[in-house]
């Protein structure tokens, strides 16, 4: 069994400030890790993914995440946010053996002017 | 353009009626998935298929049915047995490294 916990349901931040969205996971097998973004009434769009290799992963729109195996975390960061980053963000783990993913409950990022 | 299409975008049905949501992909992916999303919650897996003519139940399969007769298509039927079907439904396909999502169908049961 696997699970994903997004530690903050809502994160308000001012424009041009840094932000971190936290994600912890548990799994008994090796997994792939993902962050997705969802704008209102739309599907999910991939921000970045960790499959193997370097633990620091860079994605689109200036986002990056660091895989920490000992702490089973995959936190998402951006050094300077923009109004357009306001959206829902989902962390997910993919079990390659079972062929399915588990998603966190999401974090609502609100960027204020 | 390659991608996933879901239709319709909005769907209204009367209580007790079955309804089928369409999902088509032209990405040549083997695996396809159906998720349900409720306000304030993450995505919950309904059904998934890793190959044509085969599919597995996800975490909340009760009241739903699927078929996978073609690689490109994975329709979802919401039956009258589903107690609370009003939700946002997302279809995805996968090349096993990442999932690609459709735009979603918002189903409202009146």
- For the stretch B67-86, pLDDT in tens is 999 999 999 999 988 889 99
Give the number of beta-carbon pairs within 8 Å between A and B: 58
> Which one, of A25, A14, A20, lies nearest residue A91 by Cα?
A25
DSSP letters spanning B7-72: E-SEEEE-TT--EEEEEEE-S--SEEEEEEE-TT--EEEEEEEEETTEEEE-TT-TTEEE--SBTT
Q: What SS3 class is residue A32?
A: strand
Per-residue pLDDT of chain A (113 residues; tens, 9 = 90+): 789 999 999 999 999 999 999 999 998 888 899 999 999 889 999 999 999 888 999 999 999 999 999 999 999 999 999 999 999 999 999 988 888 899 999 999 999 99
Burial of B61 (0-12, 13-18, 19+ CB in 10 A): middle
* pLDDT bucket at B2, cuts 50 / 70 / 90: low
A100/B58 Cβ within 8 A: yes
B103/A42 Cβ within 8 A: yes
Residue with tokens 């998934």: B48
């Amino acid at each position: 069994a696997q699970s994903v916990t997004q530690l903050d349901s809502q994160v308000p931040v001012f424009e041009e400030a840094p932000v971190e969205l936290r994600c912890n996971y548990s799994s008994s097998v090796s997994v792939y890790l993902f962050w997705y973004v969802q704008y209102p009434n739309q599907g999910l769009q991939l921000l970045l993914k960790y499959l193997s290799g370097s633990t620091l992963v860079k994605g689109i729109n200036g986002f990056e995440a660091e895989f920490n195996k000992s702490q089973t975390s995959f936190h998402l960061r951006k050094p300077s946010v923009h109004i357009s980053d306001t959206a829902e963000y989902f962390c997910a783990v993919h079990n390659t053996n079972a062929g399915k993913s588990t998603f966190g409950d999401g974090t609502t990022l609100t960027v204020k002017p | 353009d390659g991608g996933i299409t879901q239709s319709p975008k909005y769907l209204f049905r009367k209580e007790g009626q079955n309804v089928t949501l369409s999902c088509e992909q032209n990405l040549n992916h083997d695996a396809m998935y159906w998720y349900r999303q409720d306000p304030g919650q993450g995505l919950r897996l309904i059904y998934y298929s890793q190959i044509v003519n085969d599919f597995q139940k996800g975490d909340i399969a009760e009241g739903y049915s699927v078929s996978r007769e073609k690689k490109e298509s994975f329709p979802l039927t919401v039956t009258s047995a589903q107690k609370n079907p009003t939700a946002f439904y997302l279809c995805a396909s996968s090349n096993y490294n990442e999932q690609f999502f459709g735009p979603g169908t918002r189903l409202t049961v009146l």
